[in-house]
Amino acid sequence: MKSEFKYEIKEYLGVLSTSRQGWNKEVNVISWNGRPEKIDIREWSPEHDKMSKGLSLTADEMDELVDIWVANRR
């Protein structure tokens, strides 16, 4: 049996790209199942009723990701 889950998009941050099918790869701040908010990157259907698998990061993890990216871009 599939377990139900809930999510709430707390803040829309932006679109990284759009697929040929019209889905947007978005960066949002989301609360999953009432838990603390995370920065989330995944594709969403135009109506936001379907989503792909994605990546959710805490603010600290996102800061670390940005630091790693910047340090390795030299």
Buried b (16+ CB within 10 A) or exposed e, 8-24: eeeeeeeeeeeeeeebb
Q: List the beta bridge partners of residue 41.
A: 27, 55
55 is a domain residue: yes
Domain assignment present for residue 2? The answer is: no
Task: Return the structure tokens found at 51.
Answer: 């989503």
Provide the H-helix boundaries in the chain: 59-71
What is the average pLDDT value for the chain, to the nearest integer? Answer: 94
pLDDT at 19: 96
Q: Is residue 57 part of a domain?
A: yes
- Write down the pTM of the prediction: 0.87
| pLDDT value for 74 | 72
pLDDT value for 40: 98
* Count of structural domains, the chain: 1
pLDDT band at 34 (very low <50, low <70, confident <90, very high): very high
DSSP state of 52: -
